[in-house]
Structure 1
Amino acid sequence: MGMNLFHLTDESMRQELSKTMMPGEQFSCPVYVSFGKESLLGSALSNLYGYAAVTDSDCLVVIRYNMLGVEMSNRHYSLRDLESLTVKSGAITSIRLAFASGTGMEQLHLRVSPKVYMSGLTAQKQNLEGLIDTLERWK
């Protein structure tokens, strides 16, 4: 099914994240995120959008969709491999992470709005705060 950018709800986010979990694995602090360059002009079509959450197995799970809502990838990043974390808060919170991998470092940049207007994402701000708190514990 994929993500419907025009009908974002807590329930649809939970359903999509649940599909990526291992049996018995749980997640918390789910947030709607965007990936891509910070630009006002011309970037919306090339950006990816999706969800991120932390799991009880000490992972950051990330699902990416294109503008049409087609899933492009989903990935679990082990928080044990977190090498660096930079958080910049503002109208959009920027979370930059670097994970050690077999090929060196893997960079991840999440952009999260504390409030997703015209959506059914009621706990975005609280979940963002919880996500940042969890990530900072692994820094």
Structure 2
Amino acid sequence: MGMNLFHLTNEAMEQALAKAMMPGDRFSCPVYVSFGRPSVFSSSLSNQYGYAAVTESNCLVVVRYNMLGMKLSSQYYALQDLQSLSVGRGIGSLTSIKLTFAAGTGTEQLHLRVSPKVYMSGLTGQAQNLEGLIDALERWK
């Protein structure tokens, strides 16, 4: 089942994140995010959307979908491997979160763009969860 970009709900977000979790782990501060090119005006099919949350096991869990709502991946990032964190405000109220994690012999970068309000959706608590997510990440930088 894909993600319907026009019917985003807290329940759909929680279900997608729960399916990506390690057994026995729990998440908090779930947010709807965008990945891919940094333009908010872009409608390219290469753009990716999905969800992110922090876990009780001190990880960042990310679920990605393409523009058509097809699931691409689920990933866990150990917060102890967080090497750098940059949080900035972009166009309007869009928040940009750039993370670099140690990965094997190199690094892996992740760029999340999060709006505190997802218009025309059933997502509630996005602004509060965004602040909670940032607070949790900042404890590890």
Say whether the fold is shared (TM-score over 0.5): yes
TM-score under structure 2 length normalisation: 0.94
| Residue 32 (structure 1) aligns with | 32
| Residue 64 (structure 1) aligns with | 64
Contact kept in structure 2, 1:31 and 1:127, CA below 8 Å: yes
Cα distance in 1 for partners of 2:61, 2:86 equals 18
| Residue 17 (structure 1) aligns with | 17
Cα distance in 2 for partners of 1:44, 1:56 equals 35
| Residue 110 (structure 1) aligns with | 112
Cα distance in 2 for partners of 1:68, 1:126 equals 28
Identity of aligned residues (%): 72
3-state DSSP of counterpart to 1:46: coil
Residue 50 (structure 2) pairs with residue 50 (structure 1): yes
Unaligned runs of 5+ in 2: none
Contact kept in structure 2, 1:37 and 1:43, CA below 8 Å: no
Cα distance in 2 for partners of 1:9, 1:40 equals 21
Aligned length: 139
1:23 Cα shift? 1.6
What's the Cα RMSD here?
1.1
Residue 107 (structure 2) pairs with residue 135 (structure 1): no
| Residue 97 (structure 2) aligns with | 95
Contact kept in structure 2, 1:47 and 1:66, CA below 8 Å: yes
| Residue 83 (structure 2) aligns with | 83
Cα distance in 1 for partners of 2:81, 2:12 equals 29
Point out 4+ residue stretches in structure 1 off by more than 3 angstroms.
40-44
Amino acid across the alignment from 1:121: L
Contact kept in structure 2, 1:29 and 1:130, CA below 8 Å: yes
| Residue 3 (structure 1) aligns with | 3
